[in-house]
Amino acid sequence: YSIMEVLIMIGWDDGTVQMSGVDWLYEQNLVPMLVSRLDPSFEREPDVHMNAARALVDVVVKCPPTDKNQLVEHLQQPDILATIFQHMFSGSSSSLTNAMSIIIVLVQRAANRRAELPELANASELEEPFASILPHLPKILDLLTKPTSENELKYSYDTPPFGETRMKAVELFLVLFRSRYIEVDDTLITLRVLPALLDVFFNYPWNNMLHGLVESIIRTVLE
């Protein structure tokens, strides 16, 4: 087994909260250690970024939205989120895509938690990770509208390149639209995110994955 697989088995492999394992991993500062591996200095070792992100994504997705988990709560602390965004926009494409994967699942879990817990439905205070994400949305939109050549990955020879980074940005916007926070919606409207998404929808007529995500966003808006 790899170290990552062992950690997952100790703490959350079967999808249930094994409190003794989670407590120990929290006490060992697992989350900050994994987040530190997203540093751009590891870009020449892409497995470091990928394994750190996969472990953190597993921490989030295997904990039910209505349950409390020290590791998830630690990951959502403002200082930890600030470090993730610092790595995300450090100029490393690997740090960017792997950090964005973590943010996507955190937003999805928070949106699901809000939907499943009635007492949160009318909450006025913006919780994490949304509070930390909003200031960075202009930069994330720029990833979609102003792609750089290093972030583009050509999917086929007869279409313009779209790229993994831009696809991650669309995925993030989808989960943000599903969050149902007025402040989040207002920011998305102010930034004109929906027109930008429709532009890429029509500019990439053969990209089925992109079309599926944008269609889901439109359905979410109309619901």
Dist. CA 27–CA 53, nearest whole Å: 20
User: Is pLDDT of 197 > 70?
Assistant: yes
Per-residue pLDDT tens for 76-95?
999 999 999 999 999 898 99
Q: Which letter does DSSP use for residue 213 in this model?
A: H
**Exposure pattern of 187-209 as b/e (b: 16+ CB <10 Å)?**
bbeebebbebbeebbeebeebee
Per-residue pLDDT tens for 34-43?
999 999 999 8
